[in-house]
Amino acid sequence: MNKIDGVLLKVLGGFYYVETAEGIFECKARGIFRKKNNSPLAGDKVTISLPNEGYPVIEEIKPRKNSLKRPPLANIDTLVIVCSTLNPSPNTLVIDKMTATAVDNGIEPVIVISKSDLKSGHELAEIYKKSGIKVFEYSNDNLDSALKIKPIFKNKVTAFTGNSGVGKSTLLNLLYPELHIETGEVSEKLGRGRHTTRCVELYKLDGGYIADTPGFSTVDIERYNLINKDNIRFCFPEFKDYLSECKFTSCSHTCEQGCAVIDAVKSGVISESRHKSYVAMYNEVKDIKEWQLKK
């Protein structure tokens, strides 16, 4: 039986679409993956077998350098978190959960602020620039503002994520018109968009892959990608220089006297918004056992 290696581009309706040197194959996966709670993810490097009859089968998932539950992806270099200045309004806690998840998994987070023609995104941008995270602002009527983002994709596996309606698919269409990704209007009543992207799909572009992902609601993200309480501090890059300067080695950096991180917040070096997110994330997991985080 012939076996070849490839990259899993899309999972849809129980089928797995794998790109190989011989073309793209519609495959099934062995049941053992599901039994071990290790189903193949878009971005996985896999080995498939080509039988004489029937569907090709995914036989092996190569070791992953990282993976996410939300969006369900593997082997990502860059996570582009798209947020809009309004409709829907930005939720910094959700953004900070996604940036922290990226850092925790060795993925570079990048913030893209959309709809800057409707409302300025300067204040939001400053929060993340102060954190050392790359930030881009763009508007649909200014192609040049979008094109400034494009160089970060070259030769990398990049995933786009964000709330429904922020314009992920719109931005991808702006940068790569040949994609023709379906986009939806934002509901005036709900203030969020329809989920026009229905599955994670990788597109081969600029020497790498770019993944468009289904949008999520704020509630959807609450129980995904939880981080151990002892690791969260390291997921906020701007904390790094202060973690060893606290009065007490057991400092949680949430409310203690003599905390160098809190002092940096008070002096304006660290954004108050970012620290509030850190405290919320810490309190969310402080009583959860490590084995429960891996569920």
Q: Say what the pLDDT of residue 185 is.
A: 47
Within this chain, do residues 207 and 262 fall inside the same structural domain, yes or no? no
Domain closes at, from 203, 221, 239: 221
Within this chain, do residues 49 and 76 fall inside the same structural domain, yes or no? no
What is the value of pTM for the model shown?
Answer: 0.88
Number of structural domains, the chain?
A: 3
Ranges in the chain, pLDDT < 70: 183-198, 215-225, 291-295
Q: Say what the pLDDT of residue 141 is.
A: 81
Q: Say what the pLDDT of residue 33 is.
A: 92
pLDDT digits (tens, 9 = 90+) for 35-80: 888 999 999 999 999 998 999 999 999 999 999 887 789 999 999 9
Domain extent for 29: 2-62
Which residue stretches of the chain are H helix?
31-35, 92-104, 122-130, 143-147, 168-175, 229-232, 260-266, 272-285, 290-293
Q: Say what the pLDDT of residue 222 is.
A: 52
Q: Say what the pLDDT of residue 165 is.
A: 84
Q: Say what the pLDDT of residue 193 is.
A: 39
Within this chain, do residues 162 and 87 fall inside the same structural domain, yes or no? yes
